[in-house]
Amino acid sequence: MLKKMLLVLLSLVFVSGAAMAVDLSGAGATFPYPIYSKWISDYSKATGNKINYQPIGSGGGIRQFTSGIVDFGGSDAPMTNDEISKAGGDILHIPTVMGAVSVVYNLPGIKGLKLDANSLAGIFLGNIKMWNDDAIAKLNPSANLPNKAITVAHRSDGSGTTDIFTNYLAKVSTGWASKVGAGKAVNWPVGVGGKGNSGVAGVVKVNEGAIGYVELSYAMENNLSVISLKNRAGYYVIPSLDSTSASADGALSKIPSDFRADLTNAPGKNSYPIVGMTWLLVHKNQKDTAKGKTLVDFLKWSLTDGQKYAADLYYAPLPKSLQSKVLKTINTITY
């Protein structure tokens, strides 16, 4: 009899625990997808809660979050004041990691290619059409550059990676600023579109002579060559964990209280110039208690335990000083 009662109690505990599992949905940036996938997998195994994150691009993530289709959004471009208003006004930007937008290219046998701001803007404006153009050749005197047309690859979807990349170009090139500008989606003067970071990486990988921009982890995953860019201090720097962290050190001292910071073209000898922060977008006032509690728990886990995975996936973890500020903001979420 006692054995039977224990079995009944154990079954009740199991059912109760299962009922407490919560499902969360999110969508947005492809830039942080490699680390978000790792976080979600480990967090779900540890807690039993399920999180589904769809990498559809920052623009799509903001739209789905605003319309209430998902519980949280993901973006590498901060929401504008108008977008925040349309989403209900109580939007928090929770920084998660920082990463480099690498400029990748496909020229077999050509390694260590260098570009400065003018040549990079010239290529994406369509003014520099051939790889052996004088503007590129003078920066790479020892490279045997081919007489080959340049194929520009860019994002076809609304993208935070595009926002970071075009914000940089708009800062360093008056021609780019006046003709194209900056944003999650722009009217590209030339090029072939690819959906997501993976799409742009794919275009570059299969087209000899192509050049594009992707988050560093996608460059590494696809074994793509990366360009050394001339930074604000006049040094050529490749995208890496160290150069991303150096950029953050040069820019985070002026981070605003809502964390909507621009890290591009940061000062410092070792700073890579195209670096961005990525955010999870959440409502400060959560309407569903169970979901709100789980979302807060996941955010705290990501800002603490989750940061240890950043370096292996080519992201820079948030500095401790910034982590503490973000955790305080997470604690203001109500549910």
- pLDDT of 13 reads 42
| Residues 133, 238 within the same domain | yes
**Torsions phi, psi of 44, nearest 5?**
-65, -40
- What percent helix, strand, coil does the chain show, rounded to 5? 45, 20, 35
CA neighbor of 244 nearest in space, from 215, 213, 211, 212: 215
259 pLDDT higher than 80: yes
| Residues 87, 135 within the same domain | no
- pLDDT of 16 reads 40
225 pLDDT higher than 80: yes
- pLDDT of 249 reads 83
4 pLDDT higher than 60: no
Looking at the 3D structure of the chain, how many domains does it have? Answer: 2
| Residues 258, 291 within the same domain | no
| Residues 142, 263 within the same domain | yes
Q: Is residue 18 in a domain?
A: no
- pLDDT of 15 reads 39
Is the separation of the CB atoms in 121 and 173 below 8 Å? yes
CATH code for position 142: 3.40.190.10
| Residues 58, 105 within the same domain | no
| Residues 160, 104 within the same domain | yes
Find all residues with CB under 8 Å of 128, minimum gap 6, and list them.
119, 122, 135, 136, 150
- Mean of pLDDT values over 296-307: 98
Instruction: Supply the DSSP string of 107-166, one letter for each residue.
Output: -TT--S-EE-HHHHHHHHHTS--BTT-HHHHTT-TTS---S-B-EEEEESS--HHHHHHH
Q: Is residue 17 in a domain?
A: no
- pLDDT of 240 reads 96
Domain that holds residue 315: 23-97+276-330
Flag the least confident range among 14-28, 75-89, 206-220, 312-326. Answer: 14-28
- pLDDT of 11 reads 44
45 pLDDT higher than 80: yes
| Residues 161, 193 within the same domain | yes
- pLDDT of 107 reads 98
14 pLDDT higher than 50: no
Is the separation of the CB atoms in 218 and 313 below 8 Å? no
200 pLDDT higher than 70: yes
Q: Is residue 312 in a domain?
A: yes
269 pLDDT higher than 60: yes
Local confidence band at 250 (pLDDT 50, 70, 90 cut-offs): confident
Is the separation of the CB atoms in 302 and 39 below 8 Å? yes
| Residues 116, 159 within the same domain | yes
142 pLDDT higher than 60: yes
204 pLDDT higher than 80: yes
- pLDDT of 9 reads 44
- 158-180 pLDDT, tens per residue? 999 999 999 999 999 999 999 99
Beta bridge partners of 228: 114
| Residues 33, 139 within the same domain | no
- How many percent of the chain have pLDDT more than 90? 90
- Residue 171 CB coordination number (10 Å): 17
Find all residues with CB under 8 Å of 328, minimum gap 6, and list them.
none
Q: Is residue 11 in a domain?
A: no
Q: Is residue 199 in a domain?
A: yes
7 pLDDT higher than 80: no
Q: Is residue 10 in a domain?
A: no
| Residues 74, 192 within the same domain | no
- pLDDT of 2 reads 47
Choice between 262 and 253, residue whose per-residue pLDDT is larger: 262
Residue 185 has what DSSP assignment? S
Flag the least confident range among 126-130, 300-304, 317-321, 325-329. Answer: 317-321
Predicted structure pTM score: 0.90
SS3 287: coil
CA neighbor of 226 nearest in space, from 251, 247, 204, 248: 204
3 pLDDT higher than 80: no
Choice between 253 and 245, residue whose per-residue pLDDT is larger: 245
Residue 80 has what DSSP assignment? P
| Residues 215, 119 within the same domain | yes
Q: Is residue 16 in a domain?
A: no
- pLDDT of 321 reads 87
Q: Is residue 2 in a domain?
A: no
Flag the least confident range among 45-59, 169-183, 247-261. Answer: 247-261
- Mean of pLDDT values over 82-97: 97
Task: Tell the residue number behind the tokens 């955790």, with chain if given.
Answer: 327
Tell me the residue ranges of DSSP E strands in the chain. Answer: 23-28, 50-55, 72-75, 91-105, 114-115, 151-155, 192-194, 210-215, 225-226, 228-230, 236-237, 275-283, 316-317
| Residues 166, 267 within the same domain | yes
Q: For the chain, give the mean pLDDT.
A: 93
